Chain A
Amino acid sequence: MTRTDTAAADAPLIECRSVWKVFGDRSRDAIAAIKSKGLGKREVLSEFGCVVGVHDASFTVDKGEIFCIMGLSGSGKSTLIRLLNRLIDPSLGEVLVKGRMINDMPAPELRELRAHTIGMVFQNVALIPTRTVLENAAFGLEVQGIAPAERRRIATDALTRVGLADWLHRYPRELSGGMQQRVGLARAIAADPEIILMDEPFSALDPLIRRQLQDEFRQLTKQLGKSAVFITHDLDEAIRIGDRIAIMKDGAMVQTGTAEEIVMNPADQYVADFVAGISRIHLVKAGSVMMPIGDFNVAAVGALPTTGLDADIDALIHMVLASPQQAVAVVEGGNVRGIVTARTLLEGLKGDHAPPAKVA
């Protein structure tokens, strides 16, 4: 099984259709020109003095999915995530949440949507310094008008989930950065939203704490059945957390796909440079490194040990080493789909061979 687009029957949770955000005094004129003449980012800047924050972004986020948007600073990712709960209004294009257009949603409905459907976690956490950890975690519930006893119960529950049950009555300044960010996460999940927007939440943390939080976040999100849009400037983080990853550059989405797809088939040199340093050992799966059976001695195939399409290179190395023929058959639905040998493994690790056509 590969984690490609699962175009489900029901509407995607979030859908962006050709969304643009243009900043500047003459953004209105610039938008008109983009609409009528199809101007690009550079022309918009030179002709109208306007900065294009988001350049024609289209994507969907499905239910239960963690969608990572990876880009360097200035790539427009923070602007893009703010378009999803309309902290920033799009200049052009449509943003749909659960099939509903939010572009022109009236204020009360938008508040409802933000209170119940879309939570947000901020890079600098934004814990109110005069409130205790518990009061901070209960903030969203408090502004929804939920009774004190009830919101304390829910917030305590959320804080327990992120491992802060012993810190309820401390103040944010008494907590480490990682713990503060957990409070931010607890505040978001306490409101029980379907989607959590994560705006570079772990960027300021040291590497060890960061990895720990990444794993916890992924686990918690999956366990609670939430969906998330996760912004990061760190491809390793995106790979660890995301079901799918979008790479942004200069406001545009350069490539969208699973970690494996992006690492194996970078869309352009920019993405290729990014993925060059990524360890493939857990990322690349049998389906990507196997060679067609035709190249192999057909008679011997039956004797090979077998594995599935999504066995990673680490597992394959062990199997190939243990196999007398130094090869493993990759099986899907009872049929042998390809063969992995020491040679194909090395090619897969090296990364610049032309991968075989996708079998899935």
Chain B
Amino acid sequence: MDLTPWVEGFDAAVDRGMVWATDHGGVVFDLIRAALEGLFDLMVDGLLLVPFWLVAIAIGAVAGRVLGWKAGLATAAGLALCRVMGLWGATVETACLVLISVLLAVVVGVPVGVLAGYSPRLTRFLDPVLDLIQTLPPYIYLLPAIAFLGYGPATAIVATFVVALPPVIRLSAHGFRMTPVEFIELGQATGAKPVDAFLKIRVPFALPSVMAGINQSLMMAFGMVVIAGIVGSGGLGETIYGAVRKLDIALSVNAAIAIVILTIIIDRMSQAASSNGGKP
């Protein structure tokens, strides 16, 4: 039996849907794009306005505080290496793409995760959706994003956000689900109002798991943000994409090193924050 007409029909419907959405939602998408690109430009320009050495020292100092002075020195040295390779601007752009995407993922994912932690029904609905998001190849998300938001960092941010979202939801929900039963009873038995029971009992117990979710989300975002170089995201991803097209192996290796440095810095700092989350 020939199913080609069915497939073609489905494809046509998807295309029509996309066209309809761009036609009718144009204003909305323009707004989203303007907001995301505005935020992105603001962050990047702001960071590049500050002299490089000041940024390196500041980030090194923060890393030194949370991870020890050796890590602080290594952080500053790593950032200096990015600068020496002539990739400072791209490094800053990549860091901003990741941070904005993950920020959005946290803003959306934590509340959804909290609700899912309380509601088994929502969890049953979300699980397959999150499974689907995590199973599809990540660059799939670039296509609809580029259709709605065009070529540029806004598309990269949205696609990265989609990839970074599931771990935040999953681990937030897990954290709120896992409050030990005796502590839930403690809240009830002391006559705590629901809001107090949430803030003073559920949140402290969920925090380490939520922080672990954010850390995972950052790592997913780093993976995606390089792929997003294809859609003109700017940053190291685009540097690598350009270098590959020109077969400039040296440049692609340099950019890869810069990404590794940036990833390690953000990973270690967010891990430190998450392991401190559960302790005084």
Interface, chain A (partner B; CB < 8 A): 82, 85, 87, 110-116, 118-120, 122-124, 126, 128-130, 132, 139-140, 142-144, 171, 191, 197
A112: B residues at CB distance < 8 A: 191
Instruction: Give a binary string over B152-185; 1 marks a CB under 8 Å from any A CB, 0 the rest.
Output: 0000000000000000000000000000101101
Asked if B119 lies at the interface with its beta carbon under 8 angstroms from chain A, I say: no
Alpha-carbon separation in the docked complex, A270 to B183 (Å): 35
Cβ-defined contact, A130 with B278, below 8 A? yes
- Residue from the list A82, A130, A143, A171 in contact with B190, Cβ < 8 A: A143
Closest to A142 in B: B200
Alpha-carbon separation in the docked complex, A118 to B278 (Å): 30
Alpha-carbon separation in the docked complex, A197 to B188 (Å): 13
Cβ-defined contact, B189 with A128, below 8 A? no
Cβ-defined contact, A128 with B190, below 8 A? no
CB distance from B176 to the nearest CB of A (A): 16
Cβ-defined contact, A126 with B191, below 8 A? no
On whether A128 and B192 interact (CB within 8 A), knowing A87-B185, A171-B280, the answer reads: no
Cβ-defined contact, B185 with A128, below 8 A? no
- The 5 nearest A-B residue pairs measured at CB: A115-B191, A114-B191, A143-B192, A120-B189, A111-B191
Alpha-carbon separation in the docked complex, A130 to B278 (Å): 7
How many of B's residues come within 8 Å of A, CB to CB?
Answer: 20
CB distance from B181 to the nearest CB of A (A): 9
Q: Which of B191, B192, B204, B279 has the most CB of A within 10 A?
A: B191
Cβ-defined contact, A122 with B191, below 8 A? no
Cβ-defined contact, B280 with A143, below 8 A? no
A126: B residues at CB distance < 8 A: 180, 182-183, 185-186
CB distance from B190 to the nearest CB of A (A): 4
Cβ-defined contact, A128 with B201, below 8 A? yes
A140: B residues at CB distance < 8 A: 190-191
Asked if B246 lies at the interface with its beta carbon under 8 angstroms from chain A, I say: no
Asked if B196 lies at the interface with its beta carbon under 8 angstroms from chain A, I say: yes
- Residue from the list A111, A123, A129 in contact with B193, Cβ < 8 A: A111
CB distance from A130 to the nearest CB of B (A): 5
On whether A191 and B186 interact (CB within 8 A), knowing A130-B278, A143-B196, A143-B200, the answer reads: no
- Residue from the list A85, A122, A130, A143 in contact with B182, Cβ < 8 A: A122
- Residue from the list B180, B185, B193, B278 in contact with A143, Cβ < 8 A: B193
